[in-house]
C-alpha cells in the first residue's frame, strides 16, 4: 500500500533493515486517519492514494547494517546505531520521502531530502 515508499526502500543497500514509522502530513500535523486510509487501501487504489496522500517514512534506527562486518547492530548502544544510520550511504532518490530523525520532537520531515548526499548532514 506504499508504492512511493517501497520504490525508495528498494534503493537501499541489500541487507539494510531500518526501524521507523510511516507518517502523512496534512496542514502541518501528522494525520493518523490518513495513514490508516492508505494502509487499508487495495493495491489498485494505492497509486492514486500515494499521489493524494503522500507518505513519509521517518527512520530513527538501523537494526541491520549492509556492511557484512557490522551486520546485526541491535546489541550496540542506540547512540552508535544512530551514528551508523546517519552514515549510511544515501542511495534513495533526491525527492524520496524518507527522513532520518532521532526523536518525535525533531521538526517534521515533510518534504525532507535527508537521504540525498547534499542534505545527508541536515538531519
Whole domain around residue 30: which residue ranges? Answer: 3-100
Query: Is residue 108 in a domain?
Result: no
Query: Is residue 53 in a domain?
Result: yes
Query: Is residue 23 in a domain?
Result: yes
55-64: strand order across its sheet: 29-30, 17-26, 55-64, 98-100
Where are the extended beta strands (E) located within the chain? 17-26, 29-30, 55-64, 98-100
Query: Is residue 118 in a domain?
Result: no
Query: Is residue 40 in a domain?
Result: yes
Task: Per residue of the chain (123 residues), give pLDDT as tens.
Answer: 788 888 778 888 889 999 988 888 888 788 999 999 889 999 888 888 888 888 888 888 999 999 999 999 999 999 999 889 888 866 554 555 666 655 544 444 444 433 322 223 333
Rounded Cα gap, residues 24 and 28, in angstroms: 10
Give the total number of structural domains in the chain: 1
Rounded Cα gap, residues 6 and 10, in angstroms: 6
Query: Is residue 105 in a domain?
Result: no
Residue 21's domain is classified under what CATH number? Answer: 3.30.470.30
Query: Is residue 19 in a domain?
Result: yes
Query: Is residue 64 in a domain?
Result: yes
Q: What is the value of pTM for the model shown?
A: 0.69
Amino acid at each position: 500500500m506504499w508504492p512511493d515508499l517501497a520504490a525508495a526502500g528498494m534503493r537501499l543497500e541489500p541487507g539494510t533493515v531500518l526501524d521507523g514509522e510511516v507518517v502523512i502530513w496534512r496542514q502541518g500535523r501528522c494525520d493518523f486517519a490518513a495513514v490508516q486510509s492508505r494502509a487499508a487501501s487495495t493495491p489498485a487504489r494505492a497509486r492514486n492514494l500515494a499521489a493524494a496522500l503522500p507518505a513519509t517514512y521517518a527512520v530513527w534506527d538501523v537494526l541491520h547494517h549492509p556492511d557484512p562486518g557490522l551486520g546485526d547492530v541491535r546489541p550496540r548502544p542506540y547512540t552508535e546505531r544512530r551514528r551508523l544510520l546517519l552514515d549510511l550511504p544515501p542511495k534513495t532518490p533526491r525527492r524520496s520521502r524518507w527522513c532520518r530523525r532521532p526523536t518525535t520532537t525533531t521538526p517534521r520531515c515533510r518534504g525532507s531530502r535527508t537521504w540525498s548526499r547534499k542534505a545527508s548532514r541536515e538531519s
